[in-house]
């Protein structure tokens, strides 16, 4: 889970890491008032869960009261398109208003998990401000990587090395305090990333975390309630959220075939086989090992709500949960949720025959496939046909209107 900059700074500040004075705001007037309280100049920073805001125009300096008003009015509600968002961008709904920092030098300092060494690793550079990818490309020799043994934590010699390489001779004590505190945050909040870019040396010679990014391991949120309650629901897909609450694993994709599968491995295979058959999955939905009428109904609800879905594929392996139970679940769910599209079912595993029999006896219309390959082919063709039919009737309607 990604935290907003203002939330990350709140956490860091609690650990004694110096951050600029400021407050998050939700309205232009509010931003103006906070700016007046802080004193000018201020920076207004878009709080969106993406990097590269500065270059995209989401971080602005304001020196006069009028400038604050103008910038705030301009930024609130604006669509910010950064390198990471794609063309759809994100809407700015919150602005962090901060006292502008007197920047002397900009450093880069982060801690993340290095997958090759399986250790928390400090990545730092005296060239902060620009993206670390850019530093890596232009000045690879200026990037320091220090793996940390989780048993010992960050050691004094590693801190000395960092201070030396980052040229922090005059900030000896402060630097050690910031580095240690940041490592503590990383461990105690179960982070997968904490990043200060830039970590600034002010003109008066003090360290200040001017930007902060924090990513917390989703699998640790159950024991980090103070973090999970910070989740920004306005930036999540509502269907993905609803699925999560219902205990389903749902990811929206760009195609037109809705998929309901039990087990993540089978779900991934299903995506692959659909693609091979020339189809495009509209989602990844794992109803879990125990597919019950309730989870199946919820799955139908979530999938059929998506207007781009033109056909559905139910691919269930009866292991712990037997096929006849799943078939009953599907029938019960279809009584509750209206589904106006072709549904292809493929069941295999325990009590497969009974399951198929149950589907047949229900009197409802399913396309039943014998095996996975055939099912994928069937649903891909059906999705194309339905799509074509819809386009045709739209065109006919349009022609009629024009006449």
Q: What is the set of active-site residues?
A: 108, 195
Return the residue of 43, 148, 191, 309 that touches ligand GDP, per CB under 6 A. Answer: 43
Kindly state whether residue 22 participates in binding ligand GDP, applying the rule CB under 6 A: no
368 contacts ligand GDP (rule: CB under 6 A): no
In the complex, least distance from residue 164 CB atom to Mn ion, rounded to whole angstroms = 24
Distances in Å between the alpha carbon of 134 and those of 96, 109, 275? 26, 15, 35
CB of 92 to Mn ion, least distance (A): 16
Q: How far apart are CA 402 and CA 302, in angstroms?
A: 36
Q: How many residues of this chain interact with ligand GDP, rule: CB under 6 A?
A: 16
CB of 90 to ligand GDP, least distance (A): 12
Question: 10 burial class (0-12, 13-18, 19+ CB within 10 angstroms)?
Answer: middle
Which of Mn ion, ligand GDP, none sits in contact with 9, Cβ below 5 to 8 A by type?
A: none
Min CB(56)–ligand GDP separation in Å: 8
Query: Any idea what DSSP says for residue 320?
Result: S
Q: Which is nearer to ligand GDP, 143 or 246 (CB)?
A: 143
Nearer to Mn ion, 95 or 356 (CB): 95
Q: By C-beta, is 41 or 349 nearer to ligand GDP?
A: 41
Query: How far is CA 339 from each of CA 92, 136, 167, 274, 369, rounded to the nearest angstrom?
Result: 36, 51, 65, 21, 19
Pairing mode of beta strands 95-99, 22-25: antiparallel
Site for ligand GDP in 185-244 (CB under 6 A): 197-198, 210-211
Distances in Å between the alpha carbon of 64 and those of 42, 68, 74, 126? 9, 6, 15, 32
Tell me how far apart the alpha carbons of residues 235 and 53 are, in angstroms, rounded to a whole number. 16
* Coil, helix or strand at residue 301: helix
Q: Which does 106 bind (CB under 5 to 8 A by kind): ligand GDP, Mn ion, none?
A: ligand GDP
How many of the other CB atoms lie within 10 Å of CB of 219? 9
In this complex, which beta carbon is closest to ligand GDP, that of residue 197 or of residue 315?
Answer: 197
* SS3 state of residue 324: helix
Instruction: Please choose, from the candidates 84, 76, 68, the residue with its C-alpha nearest in 3D space to the C-alpha of residue 34.
Output: 68
Residue 18 touches which member of ligand GDP, Mn ion, none, C-beta under 5-8 Å by kind: none
Residue 293 engages ligand GDP in binding (rule: CB under 6 A): no
Rule CB under 6 A: which of 61-90 touch ligand GDP? none
In the set 10, 54, 253, 374, which binds ligand GDP (CB under 6 A)?
A: 54
What is the chain's length? 403
- Residue number of the CB closest to ligand GDP reads 54
**Beta bridge partner(s), residue 298:** none
Closest by CA position to 35, among listed 96, 102, 101, 103: 96
- For residue 67, the minimal CB distance to ligand GDP (Å) is 14
Q: Is 273 in the site for ligand GDP (CB under 6 A)?
A: no
* Closest distance to ligand GDP from the beta carbon of 102 (Å): 7
Residue 52 contact, options ligand GDP, Mn ion, none, Cβ 5-8 Å cut-off depending on partner type: ligand GDP
Q: Is 129 in the site for ligand GDP (CB under 6 A)?
A: yes
- Please name the helix (run of DSSP H) or strand (run of DSSP E) that holds residue 105, with its range, or none: strand 103-114
Nearer to Mn ion, 132 or 271 (CB): 132
**Near ligand GDP in 86-105, by CB under 6 A:** 100-101, 103
Indicate which single residue of 18, 22, 28, 51 sits in contact with ligand GDP (rule: CB under 6 A).
Answer: 51
Q: Between residues 213 and 310, which has the closer beta carbon with respect to Mn ion?
A: 213
Q: Specify the residue, 137 or 338, whose C-beta has the smaller distance to Mn ion.
A: 137
Contact 362, 328 (CB under 8 A): no
- Cα angle at 57 between 52 and 61, to 5 degrees? 110
Cα Rg, the chain, nearest whole Å: 27
Interface with ligand GDP, residue 120, by CB under 6 A: no
Closest CA to 297 of 318, 328, 321: 328
Which stretches of the chain bind Mn ion, using CB under 5 A? 197, 211
- What DSSP state is assigned to residue 134? H
- E-strand ranges in 56-102 read 59-62, 79-80, 90-91, 95-99
Q: Is residue 52 within the footprint of ligand GDP (CB under 6 A)?
A: yes
Cβ proximity of 341 and 312 under 8 Å:
yes
Partner from Mn ion, ligand GDP, none binding residue 258, C-beta < 5-8 Å depending on class: none
- Binding region for ligand GDP (CB under 6 A): 43, 45, 51-54, 59, 100-101, 103, 106, 129, 197-198, 210-211
């Amino acid at each position: 889970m990604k935290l907003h900059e203002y939330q990350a700074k709140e956490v860091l500040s609690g650990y004694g890491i110096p951050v600029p004075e400021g407050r998050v705001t939700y309205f232009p007037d509010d931003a103006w008032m906070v700016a007046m309280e802080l004193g000018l100049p201020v920076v207004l920073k878009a709080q969106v869960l993406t990097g590269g805001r500065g270059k995209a125009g989401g971080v602005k300096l304001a020196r006069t009261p009028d400038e604050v008003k103008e910038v705030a009015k301009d930024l609130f509600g604006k669509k910010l398109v950064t390198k990471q968002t794609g063309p759809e961008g994100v809407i700015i709904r919150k602005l962090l208003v901060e006292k502008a920092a007197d920047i002397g030098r900009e450093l880069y300092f982060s801690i993340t998990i290095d997958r090759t060494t399986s250790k928390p690793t400090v990545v730092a550079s005296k060239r902060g401000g620009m993206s670390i990818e850019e530093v890596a490309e232009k000045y690879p020799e200026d990037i320091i990587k220090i793996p940390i043994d989780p048993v010992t934590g960050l050691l004094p010699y590693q801190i000395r090395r960092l201070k030396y390489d980052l040229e922090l001779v005059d900030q000896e004590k402060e630097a050690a305090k910031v580095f240690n505190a940041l490592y503590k945050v990383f461990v105690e909040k179960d982070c997968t990333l904490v990043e200060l870019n830039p970590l600034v040396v002010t003109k008066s010679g003090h360290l200040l975390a001017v930007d902060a990014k924090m990513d917390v391991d989703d699998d640790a949120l159950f024991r980090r309630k103070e973090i999970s309650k910070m989740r920004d629901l306005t930036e999540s897909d509502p269907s993905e959220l609803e699925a999560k609450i219902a205990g389903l694993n749902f990811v929206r994709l760009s195609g037109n075939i809705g998929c309901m599968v039990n087990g993540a491995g089978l779900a991934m295979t299903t995506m692959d086989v659909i693609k091979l058959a020339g189809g495009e999955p509209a989602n990844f939905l794992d109803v879990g090992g125990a597919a019950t009428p309730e989870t199946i109904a919820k799955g139908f609800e979530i999938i059929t709500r998506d207007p781009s879905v033109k056909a559905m594929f139910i691919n269930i392996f009866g292991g712990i949960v037997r096929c006849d139970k799943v078939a009953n679940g599907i029938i019960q769910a279809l009584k509750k949720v209206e589904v106006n599209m072709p549904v292809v079912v493929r069941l295999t595993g325990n009590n497969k025959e009974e399951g198929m029999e149950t589907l047949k006896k229900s009197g409802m219309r399913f396309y039943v496939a014998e095996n996975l390959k055939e099912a994928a082919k069937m649903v891909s063709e059906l999705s194309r046909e339905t799509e074509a039919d819809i386009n045709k009737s739209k065109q006919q309607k349009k022609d009629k209107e024009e006449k």
